[in-house]
Amino acid sequence: MSTIERPLLPLPHETTPSGELYGSAIDLARVRAAHVELCTERETVTVDGNTAAALATLQMWRCVLFAGFPITPSTKWIETVAARIADEPRSRKRVKLLEAEHAVADYLVGAAAACRDLVFPTATSSVGLDHMTETTRSLGASGLGNVMLIDVYRATANFPLCIEGDPSDTLAHRDDGFIQICARGKQQIYDTILQAPCVGMHADVLTPTMPGFYGIKDSHRSARLIQEPDREIHAFQDEWMRPCPLPGLINGDTALGNCVTSKHFQGFKLSQRRRLENALRVLPAVGASFERRFGRPGLAFFDETGWPEKGGVDIAVVGMGPDFGTFETLRESYQAYAGLRVAGIAMRLLTPFPSEAVRRRLAQARVVLVVNQAHHQGRGHLTLDVVDALSTLPDPPRVVPAFAGLGGADVSEATWERMLEEARAVRDGGAVAPAAFYHEGRAL
Amino acid sequence: MSGYKETATHESCFRPGSTLCAGCMEAIAFQSVGRVTDNGVKTIFTIGTSCAEVSSLAFPNVVAWGRGEAPPDDFSRSFAILHNVFESAPTLAEAVRDVADVLTDHGALSAPIQVISASGDGGALAIGLRSLLHTIHRRTRVTVIVLVNEIFANTGFQYSPATTPFASTSTTPSGAASSGNPAPPLDYLHLAIAAGAGLVAQLSPAHGKLFQKTMEKALACETTAVVFVPSPCITGWKFEDGETMQIATLGARCGVFPAFVWERGKGGAVKDCPREAHERPPVEGFLGTQRRFNHLVRRDPAGNGYQVRDGSEADVDQFRAWTQSNVERLYALAELR
């Protein structure tokens, strides 16, 4: 029994499944009011991908603390954020450069747990993401949907070191538990980062997000971007980001990160999985809401090209990233040349993999060509997911796996044509060959 | 500052229900620190994986943390704790501190927050040395507690960088060809000072008043305060429950882990451990209390304490020499400003 005498600080509190919540301990309206607008009118700017990502995070009033550690090709994100904050004396936002990526991941745990109503972003790449792994796997299970880890894709592993962008880093982290969304092009990068935390922080989801884009190809090359006014962004996000129903460290009487016995471990993992799967319901709703407000496509499971309103296609291509654009530009000419109907999807949501939507889209294809751009010991990460998605069809299309663009190499028109020819041969009754590597129009 | 007796009446944030060994110094330290933190400031602990964590936060066991029987109406007495991987505790604490400071800077948080990081010596000095030193280097306004039981107790009593020379651990076992741990421990006190800490101490609740006073200073420190708590481990050091405080006191007095408190700008002092060896208790008395040193000493058949085993004279001489250098080192560190 305490006999200490001091002024009391009585605050109303409510009981939650995770402890007591003192909802009024943090006055978020003051954080919102203190935000210094970056953009007051819709405008078109020319920026690279890292800058697009930086602008998106800077424009959110919920982003007040930016943690990072430099690694190519993601470094310009933290540099841009730091430069903008340094240039704005009215801003109370802070940048925190830590000593290693692992420290950044730990820092995100502490920050996001401290206040679950703010968004804590960072950006990393390749072995930087690998270095975070011990904690990203904890984060994925943590319920801290207010963590946003922007992965600027770069080939992982240092033997050989390659600083260009293939998605082997993000695909190696499929089981970390994050919602992984791939963006291509500056506008999609910007828009994706504005929407991702709306999904992650949804009360039914509470799962951290990992939006990503290709290093060098998208991170370092510039293009036009429509930048939205901060107030519109805030209005959109406020619609989706409600106060977290669970206590944080500052506004709670709570414990986070407990260990459990194996008996109870099952329940925790099942809950984690269900929250992740709820993203399949929430993400399209957020995307539709975004499109209504801003007039551009919002988050979706995948981008589509060439699909007829009725009937099937001979070849369906599954890919991701900016090289899919090369396929989009040659699709019609190849279609005419081969006398086939050819369509494709570029995956946006990597985890949780939208199996049902993919199955529905590909069910009408005779052959599915899956282009994998990351090293894999088997037929490719995407291939396995696509095959799994199609496995429940009574007569699934034949799947042709291919590897191209490893290490960020361009997937040229010649390479796309070579892979399409391989799919065409299978469509004509040929055998499906083991997954081959394609480069510069040749099978290696 | 509160008086010693008054603080003893405060309500600790470490509550019954932990599965730590009966008499574990970590539990005693948490009880003591927990009472000091009942000071009108909301308390947030971060903790790396360790004996203390798995024994106090294991669902569905009782969470052995929190102040009072029910969530307090007084926000300043509310309590929160966050666990993550072994090395993470200082970084977690730094993040919590920064968020609290940013919110305060925005006018969004009016209540003061105190943040305390707790790690074992494995978590802080082996796998987590990076985290510890950089949090200190950034002058983070948190209190870091390192519970030094000189082993990785949680994983089975392996050697740690803080292991006393000649101690038998599960990875530096004594045997016919080995006298136990061959290396002196990392000079973690000096490292913490060099990294920029505002307060550095080596102190356990065996020095009760000094421990409380030092913890109060640590919580008030404007930069990082680091308190290394020598933590005799019943199972790892192999002694009987009920002897913890005695061993902690003896270890400090004979020079193995002297009580030491240092503040930046003021310097420090070695407490309760004279510089001259003949003024300190003989090391055999300390070695003999723990079976991890069973290969060096044995109980005197005549009942006069402990005596060096035949063949171990050179090792014990080396141990005495190391102890003297350890004491000299701390007296020298105390001179730093």
* A22/B78 Cβ within 8 A: yes
Supply the DSSP symbol for B107. Answer: T
Residue A134 with chain B: CB contacts under 8 Å: 85
- For residues B313 and A19, give the distance between their C-alpha atoms in angstroms, rounded to a whole number: 57
CATH architecture of the domain A302-443 equals: 3-Layer(aba) Sandwich (3.40)
Structure confidence at residue A300 (pLDDT): 98
* B80/A10 Cβ within 8 A: no
Q: Is A28 exposed, middle or buried (0-12, 13-18, 19+ CB in 10 A)?
A: middle
Chain A residue with CA closest to B48: the answer is: A257
- Average pLDDT of the residues in A57-81: 98
List Cβ neighbours of A155 (8 Å cut-off, separation of 6 or more).
A126, A162, A164, A165, A166, A168, A169, A374, A375, A406, A407, A408
Q: In this structure, are residues A120 and A147 in contact, taking their beta carbons and an 8 Å threshold?
A: yes
Best to test chain B binding among A61, A258, A269 (most B CBs inside 10 Å): A258
Residue A1 has pLDDT above 90, yes or no: no
Structure confidence at residue A199 (pLDDT): 98
Residue B66 with chain A: CB contacts under 8 Å: 253
- For residues A412 and B191, give the distance between their C-alpha atoms in angstroms, rounded to a whole number: 55
A402: alpha, beta or left? (left if phi > 0; alpha if psi -120 to 50) = beta
Share of chain A above pLDDT 70, in %: 98
Cross-chain CB nearest to A260 (options B58, B106, B107) = B58
> Which residues on neighbouring strands pair with residue B275, listed in sequence order?
none
H/E run at residue A68: strand A65-68
**B67, two tokens:** 């102040």
Q: Which of A40-44, A84-88, B61-65 has the lowest mean pLDDT?
A: B61-65
Residue B163: phi and psi, rounded to 5, are: -70, 135
Residue A94 with chain B: CB contacts under 8 Å: 98, 102
Residue B72 with chain A: CB contacts under 8 Å: 253
Whole-Å CA distances, A398 to A354, A357, A431, B72, B158: 19, 18, 10, 63, 55
- ipTM above 0.90 for this complex: yes
Alpha helices, H only, A164-261 = 168-171, 186-200, 230-240
Chain A residue with CA closest to B84: the answer is: A257
Query: Closest Cα partner for A185 from A40, A326, A82, A67?
Result: A326
Cα angle A128, B192, B337 (rounded to 5 degrees) comes to 140
**CATH 3.40.50.970 domain range(s) in chain A:** 14-294
Query: Closest Cα partner for B166 from B334, B309, B329?
Result: B309
* B60/A11 Cβ within 8 A: no
- For residues A155 and A172, give the distance between their C-alpha atoms in angstroms, rounded to a whole number: 10
Structure confidence at residue A258 (pLDDT): 87
**A352 prior amide bond cis, ω within 30:** yes
Cross-chain CB nearest to A259 (options B58, B91, B95) = B58
* B82/A113 Cβ within 8 A: yes
Q: What is the pLDDT of residues B198-239, one digit of tens each?
A: 999 999 999 999 999 999 999 999 999 999 999 999 999 999
- For residues B255 and B320, give the distance between their C-alpha atoms in angstroms, rounded to a whole number: 9
- For residues A151 and A138, give the distance between their C-alpha atoms in angstroms, rounded to a whole number: 17
Residue type, A160: P
Q: In this structure, are residues A210 and A179 in contact, taking their beta carbons and an 8 Å threshold?
A: yes
List Cβ neighbours of B288 (8 Å cut-off, separation of 6 or more).
B297, B298, B299, B305, B306
- Average pLDDT of the residues in A213-236: 98
More confidently predicted of A5 and A338: A338
**B3, two tokens:** 């008086």
Residue A87 has pLDDT above 60, yes or no: yes
Query: Closest Cα partner for A212 from A436, A53, A432, A345?
Result: A53
Half-sphere exposure of A414 (CA within 13 A, CB side): 7
* B44/A111 Cβ within 8 A: no
Looking at every residue in chain B, the average pLDDT score rounds to: 96
A93 Cα to chain B: minimum distance (Å): 8
Residue with tokens 């299970």: A141
**A211 prior amide bond cis, ω within 30:** no
- E strands, A79-169, are 94-97, 120-124, 147-153
Q: In this structure, are residues A210 and A140 in contact, taking their beta carbons and an 8 Å threshold?
A: no
* B74/A10 Cβ within 8 A: yes
Supply the DSSP symbol for A38. Answer: S
Dihedral of CA atoms A232, A234, A236, A238 in degrees, nearest 10, equals -150
Residue type, A111: A
B258 Cα to chain A: minimum distance (Å): 32
Chain A residue with CA closest to B133: the answer is: A99
Chain B residue with CA closest to A13: the answer is: B73
Supply the DSSP symbol for B237. Answer: I
Confidence of residue A261 (pLDDT cuts 50, 70, 90): confident
Cross-chain CB nearest to B84 (options A22, A96, A106) = A106
Residue type, A276: L
Q: In this structure, are residues A6 and B40 in contact, taking their beta carbons and an 8 Å threshold?
A: yes
Q: What is the pLDDT of residues B262-315, one digit of tens each?
A: 999 999 999 999 999 999 999 999 999 999 999 999 999 998 899 999 999 999
Residue A131 with chain B: CB contacts under 8 Å: none
B324 Cα to chain A: minimum distance (Å): 36
Query: Closest Cα partner for A190 from A318, A349, A45?
Result: A45
Residue B334, SS3 per DSSP: helix
What is the pairing mode between strands B151-152 and A94-97? unpaired
Q: What is the pLDDT of residues B84-104, one digit of tens each?
A: 999 999 999 999 999 999 999
* A25/B9 Cβ within 8 A: no
**CATH 3.40.50.920 domain range(s) in chain A:** 302-443
**A333, two tokens:** 């000419």
Share of chain A above pLDDT 90, in %: 94
Query: Closest Cα partner for B226 from B204, B186, B257, B193?
Result: B193
B117 Cα to chain A: minimum distance (Å): 11
Q: What is the pLDDT of residues A352-392, one digit of tens each?
A: 999 999 999 999 999 999 999 999 999 999 999 999 999 99
What is the domain class of A14-294 according to CATH?
alpha beta
Query: Closest Cα partner for B16 from B60, B47, B55?
Result: B55
Best to test chain A binding among B6, B92, B216 (most A CBs inside 10 Å): B92
Residue B109 with chain A: CB contacts under 8 Å: 25-27, 250
CA torsion sign for A347, A348, A349, A354 is negative
* B98/A96 Cβ within 8 A: yes
**B155, two tokens:** 């994983």
DSSP, residue by residue, A243-263 = PPSS--SSSEEEEES-EE-HH
**A432, two tokens:** 């499906």
Best to test chain A binding among B5, B13, B106, B136 (most A CBs inside 10 Å): B106
- For residues A293 and A297, give the distance between their C-alpha atoms in angstroms, rounded to a whole number: 10
Q: Is B274 exposed, middle or buried (0-12, 13-18, 19+ CB in 10 A)?
A: middle
Q: Most distant CA pair in chain A: distance in Å?
A: 88
List Cβ neighbours of A338 (8 Å cut-off, separation of 6 or more).
A420, A424
Q: In this structure, are residues B106 and A30 in contact, taking their beta carbons and an 8 Å threshold?
A: yes
The rounded radius of gyration (Å) of the Cα atoms in chain B is 20
Confidence of residue A5 (pLDDT cuts 50, 70, 90): low
H/E run at residue A401: strand A398-404
Cross-chain CB nearest to B94 (options A13, A110, A264) = A110
Q: What is the pLDDT of residues A137-195, one digit of tens each?
A: 999 999 999 999 999 999 998 789 999 889 999 999 999 999 999 999 999 999 999 99
pTM given for the model: 0.97
Confidence of residue B1 (pLDDT cuts 50, 70, 90): low
Structure confidence at residue B241 (pLDDT): 87
Chain B residue with CA closest to A12: the answer is: B73
Query: Closest Cα partner for B111 from A40, A6, A359, A75?
Result: A6
Residue B30, SS3 per DSSP: helix
Structural domains of chain B ordered from first start: 4-335 (3.40.50.970)
Chain B residue with CA closest to A260: the answer is: B59
